[in-house]
């Protein structure tokens, strides 16, 4: 998206609140607010300065549970063979 000329701030908005709004789940996620699922990702850098830091998270919390980044992810949603 950034290579297509979209700014860092707009990319982050698109990946969070806009995506949640598109699929109708802004009541549970998309922003950091009380009584919403705790879905948080932390980075060593500021993605508003360098969007590529999104490729290297240092902390992930999904639905209030810390995700162990040392364990390979489970392929829960495999891509279809084309």
Whole-number pLDDT of residue 81? 67
Whole-number pLDDT of residue 43? 93
Residue keyed to tokens 């290579």: 3
pTM for this predicted structure: 0.64
- Distant-in-sequence, close-in-space partners of 41: CB < 8 Å, separation ≥ 6: 54, 57, 59, 60, 61
* Parent domain of 59: 8-66
What one-character DSSP code corresponds to residue 51? G
78 within some domain: no
75 within some domain: no
Number of structural domains the chain divides into:
1
46-82 residue pLDDT tens: 999 999 898 889 999 888 889 888 877 666 666 666 6
CB 54 within 8 Å of CB 45: no
């Amino acid at each position: 998206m950034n290579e297509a000329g979209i700014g860092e701030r707009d990319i982050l908005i698109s990946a969070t609140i806009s995506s949640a709004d598109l699929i109708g789940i802004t009541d549970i996620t998309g922003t950091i607010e009380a009584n919403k699922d705790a879905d948080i990702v932390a980075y060593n850098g500021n993605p508003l300065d360098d969007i590529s830091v999104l490729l290297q998270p240092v902390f992930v919390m999904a639905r209030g549970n810390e995700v162990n980044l040392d364990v390979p992810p489970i392929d829960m949603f495999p891509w279809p063979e084309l």
